[in-house]
Structure 1
Amino acid sequence: YHVPRSWMTQKGNTLVLFEEVGGDPAKIFFVKKTLGSLCAQVSESHPSPLDAWESDARREQRLVPELRLECPSANQVISSIKFASFGTPKGTCGNFSHGWCSSQTALDLVSK
């Protein structure tokens, strides 16, 4: 069953479940779904990820900063990327625009 968020209050919610014939209440689970936006940035002056420093095999590789976008569960997906820039973007989260130095292919590359 899906309980719409609009039915919930901040505190004091009571959920009463009636077992269906053949149902197994031990298989009931709750999932919190959060919809929203995420903003992140990385520049050439940021440090590389910590796991890049842990491996001796990677010492030969150039340590570079990176931004990783991933979902915690396999059934979750990133549905869209609205802005990406390899350059000098202006603005704040949710209201970015391209600066004087920008790449025309940044959004396509990041979306892949």
Structure 2
Amino acid sequence: MVSCPTPFFRDSKNSLILFEEMGDNPSQVNFQTIVVGSTCGRVYEGKTLELSCQKKGQTISTINFGSFGDPQGTCRSFVKGSCESTNSISTVEKACVGQESCSIEASEEILGTLSHCGSDLTKSLAVEIVC
């Protein structure tokens, strides 16, 4: 039986790796928790979002969240709002994954047309990267 404390689980993207050992002493197995670096940022339309890994030499491996429109929440708990551009996540992935740092202008020209948005909406770009 495997038991994992609930504080280790997130609402999404959990990974559990099990190793099966036969013929040896399982009490000698060591478990380690690693911290994967996550960095977030948010800028309003017309501004440029600059993101980078905290450790020199690390590259951005994944985009956990990327939305241009009216994203809600705060770092590590961003959620999509009621409107979003058509290409936000793919544009952020192309600009950032594999790089040590990246810059993205928060605009419809770069991130795609917004759908279902009111004209008085204050637009922003929110991104969470993993290094």
The TM-score by the shorter chain falls in which range? Answer: 0.3 to 0.5
Q: Whose helix proportion is higher, 1 or 2?
A: 1
Which fold has the larger relative contact order, with Cα–Cα distance below 8 Å and residues 6 or more apart in sequence?
2
Structure 2 length-normalised TM? 0.39
Structure 1 length-normalised TM? 0.45
Q: Whose strand proportion is higher, 1 or 2?
A: 2
